[in-house]
Amino acid sequence: MDSFFTWTDLMTYGGAVMAVLIITEFTKDLPGIRRLSTRLWAYLVALVILLAAAIFTGDSLRAEDVLLCFINGVIVAMAAVGSYHSVQEQME
């Protein structure tokens, strides 16, 4: 990877999963966030990333697009949390 994330990168499955994984792991122990389950926090992070990427890339945010962000947020969050647990198990 020769550059940082772009909004277009965050619209892809791999980019969104990587960003959610990094942000979730970096922030999950902050006060207030610590009370949430990691899965819920990862979902909220995914939702914000997907909505922001859609807005900042100029995509229209019709109702069906927002609904897809909610659904895709679940998929991205599950992949990010699952990736972390898979790596953690391998290291143990």
Residue 1 forms part of a structural domain:
no
Q: Is residue 2 in a domain?
A: no
Please check whether residue 10 is in contact with residue 57, taking contact to mean a CB–CB distance below 8 angstroms: no
Terminal CA-CA length for the chain:
28
Range of the domain at 22: 9-87
In a domain, 83, yes or no: yes
68 domain residue, yes or no: yes
For 44-68, how does the pLDDT look when each residue is reduced to its tens digit (9 = 90+)?
999 999 999 999 988 768 889 899 9
Question: What is the pTM assigned to this prediction?
Answer: 0.86
**Structure confidence by residue, pLDDT tens digits, 7-52:** 999 999 999 999 999 999 999 999 999 999 999 999 999 999 999 9
Quick check: is 3 in a domain?
A: no
Does residue 89 sit in helix, strand or coil?
A: helix
Number of domains in the chain: 1
Question: Is 4 within a domain?
Answer: no
Mean pLDDT for the stretch of residues 62-80: 94
Domain for residue 52, yes or no? yes
Domain-embedded: residue 82: yes
